Homo-oligomer: A and B are copies of this chain.
């Protein structure tokens, strides 16, 4: 089933546009206006060290395979062991170490990605970033390895040079409250103009089920010189760290709870629950309630400091027990779960839902909520907006479903444009390009079916590609 020959690699200028000539022509016009807009990447997981140190990215395998769980989850699903891909084990047991050998395995199995966004993104990177002319397969594996490897040694392929070349206006990373933000400080002090900001992700100190929660809360106390065994001071410590993050550019917080459940306890109940979860002796329900309470506390803090809240719920983390024990977190074994928003968000919304000075961006891994819950909620509550299709759904079909199921109830202006949410820095232009193309395709269909005018579509294309993100994330 894999490839038998050396094939030309070319990115068709009309890729992702409808084959219908009328729609395609409209999409081309809309896209021409937005394709070169600067990239706003207000939510993602790139490593700020890259931009602080500006060192070479190493070799193709280190850059493109090992950090990309989209890539190795697919290979693993087809019987290729993570050991043979050199994924680092928890306990340091040796795995494959020759990056070229790993690259060959990847190349040989690249056909598995047919029809997936990984193929779209990677071929974009191969062609646009590295100028490769043939498709990746077992026959071109070594050519790829050598060409990419050579490029990575040159100054033009260092992180800052690529950042500038990619025309990124703003890039947000995501850090724990315990992070010293040393890399962000270094970037700020370096004189480099690249706008790399942080975002505040408090899960390590707000989720009682997070590995090391108690130690994390203690560390938070040390960092802030506050007694974080007191709920009041714990909240103060969080507020203090938020201010510190803000001073390094943060405009948002991010919350990765397993569910969207919120709570609105009295101060006494909250204090008492906090003491309980700090003991380490608590139920699953306690942990859920505490996380929910912290969402509401964070909303209250956002009303103070203006940080935008992002809620990314619904992932069953580390589903594969064998993989988790051997390789740890973030190894492609997170699986979406059914997620409820209507009941779950009620306590927070009862308290703050009507506020126009609060901004909460909701994401989902459960597409059934688009038309049933999320669009009706965002189409009503002033404080709610919808984040773009996320993670498994950050794909052409996923984006299409998002627009089809959300637009008619929430409109376009209760959405916030695209964000890439990626660890794979080189894929950022590819991902934004896919999003812009899919938005233009969707708008072109609406125009071709006389559901909106082309003038409106032109304005919308700008909004979806740039303006909405800028406004929603206060960039």
Contact = CB atoms under 8 A, between A and B. Distances in A.
Interface of A: 1, 7, 12, 14-20, 22-23, 73-74, 76-79, 111-117, 119-120, 316, 319-323, 332-338, 340, 342-343, 346, 349-350, 353-354, 356, 365-368, 371-373, 375-382, 384, 392-393, 395-398, 404-405, 407-414, 445-446, 448-453, 455-456, 459-460, 463, 467
Nearest to A407: B115
A414 B120 contact: no
Contacts of A373: 335-337
Contacts of A460: 114-115
A20 B21 CA distance: 8
A206 to B, nearest CB: 24
Contact of A322 (B321, B354, B411): B354
Contact of A382 (B14, B76, B397): B76
A77 B323 contact: no
A138 B45 CA distance: 42
A334 B379 CA distance: 11
What are the 6 A-B residue pairs with the smallest beta carbon separation, nearest first?
A19-B448, A15-B450, A12-B450, A395-B408, A322-B354, A79-B356
B76 A112 contact: no
A241 B393 CA distance: 44
Contact of A342 (B335, B372, B375, B455): B335
A113 B411 contact: yes
Given A112-B411, A367-B371, A451-B16, A382 B342 contact: no
23 contacts: A1-B413, A1-B459, A1-B463, A1-B467, A15-B450, A16-B449, A76-B380, A112-B411, A113-B411, A116-B407, A316-B342, A319-B377, A321-B349, A322-B353, A334-B376, A335-B377, A367-B371, A371-B393, A392-B408, A395-B408, A396-B408, A396-B449, A397-B405
Contacts of A12: 450
Contact of A380 (B7, B119, B320, B342): B320
A16 B450 contact: yes
B320 A349 contact: yes
